[in-house]
Amino acid sequence: MTNKLKYFVGNWKMFGSFSSLKNIYRIHRFCVKFNKARKKNKIILCVPNTLIYFFTKKFRSKIISIGAQNCHHHQTKGSFTGSVNAKMLKNVGAKYIILGHSESRHEGDTNQLIKKKIKSALNQQLYVIFCIGETYSEKIRKKTFSVLKNQLKSSMDKKINLNNIIIAYEPVWSIGTGKIPKIDSLRNIFRFIKNEFKKNLKTKTSPPVLYGGSVNDKNITKFTSILEIDGFLIGGASRSSKKFIDIIKNYYK
């Protein structure tokens, strides 16, 4: 286990209400104590847009930040019914944003569209959690590396602000299914992503790379041997403060 900062990111999806503030307080109370005694952890909760302003006004913390889950690619105002852009999310207090999530790709987000969204979020100084990952059919056709390579290459501008990017490797077949990749293959994938990023953007360092897909308080211990994992993007289990806290606790056991 290294001493490096670890990210635990919750993706609440289309769940949560004003009363979920109590979950955030619980996580915060735990982290204040835990971070003092143990490692440094950064907690990011990506919540529905309707809750961002409420949470960020009620709650200020260096340990927990609030993020959004997607945005429209247009940088300025416009006739886009039902849409919200990165600037609007920034204005209501979001610090982070998930982009390229497989559920958003499923709704029509292409690599080209995601590229525009990343650009517009970075222009607003939001931190981008950029999701990549192969589908089950791509995995069995042994296309994982070429899919990841293409997603990285076609969605990221060479001139982006590297300090504001976090990558999340989320195999689509693992999201919400209870299935996780084999540890050896995951280690290779993490090495590949980090090398590929450095190659594409001609940099010596890679941004943090997180793992996401069916992470829970039981299987989290399986990931501890992969030093290349800089943290986790957690969907279902992040909606319960107890499960979320147990994931962090068990990671360090």
Catalytic residues: 101, 170
Q: How far is the CB of 234 from ligand PEP (least distance, A)?
A: 5
Q: How far is the CB of 126 from ligand PEP (least distance, A)?
A: 18
Cβ burial of 62 (10 Å; 0-12, 13-18, 19+) is exposed
Smaller CB separation from ligand PEP, 45 or 233? 233
Q: Which residue is associated with the tokens 């001493």?
A: 3
Q: How far is the CB of 64 from ligand PEP (least distance, A)?
A: 18
Determine, following the binding rule CB under 6 A, whether residue 235 of this chain makes contact with ligand PEP.
yes
Q: Single out the residue of 56, 111, 160, 176 in contact with ligand PEP (rule: CB under 6 A).
A: 176
Smaller CB separation from ligand PEP, 156 or 175? 175
Determine, following the binding rule CB under 6 A, whether residue 236 of this chain makes contact with ligand PEP.
yes
Q: Which stretch binds ligand PEP (CB under 6 A): 29-37, 151-159, 179-187, 207-215?
A: 207-215
Q: Single out the residue of 23, 120, 214, 241 in contact with ligand PEP (rule: CB under 6 A).
A: 214
| The two three-digit tokens of residue 5, written as one number | 């900062």
Long-range contact pairs involving 43-46 (C-beta distance under 8 Å, separation at least 24): 43/7, 43/8, 43/9, 43/10, 44/7, 44/8, 44/9, 44/10, 44/95, 44/96, 44/129, 45/9, 45/10, 45/12, 45/238, 46/9, 46/10, 46/11, 46/12, 46/96, 46/97, 46/98, 46/129
Q: Are the CB atoms for 33 and 44 separated by under 8 Å?
A: no
Torsion 231-186-238-128 (CA) sign: positive
Axis-axis angle for helices 144-155, 111-123 (nearest 10): 50
Smaller CB separation from ligand PEP, 44 or 175? 175
- The mark string for 104-133 relative to ligand PEP (x by CB under 6 A, - otherwise) is ------------------------------
> How far is Cα of residue 84 from the mean position of the Cα atoms in its chain?
19
240: three-class secondary structure by DSSP: coil
Determine, following the binding rule CB under 6 A, whether residue 20 of this chain makes contact with ligand PEP.
no
Q: Which stretch binds ligand PEP (CB under 6 A): 59-67, 86-94, 197-205, 211-219?
A: 211-219
Smaller CB separation from ligand PEP, 185 or 200? 185
> Which 215-234 positions form the footprint of ligand PEP (CB under 6 A)?
215, 233-234
Site of interaction with ligand PEP (CB under 6 A): 11, 170, 175-176, 212-215, 233-237
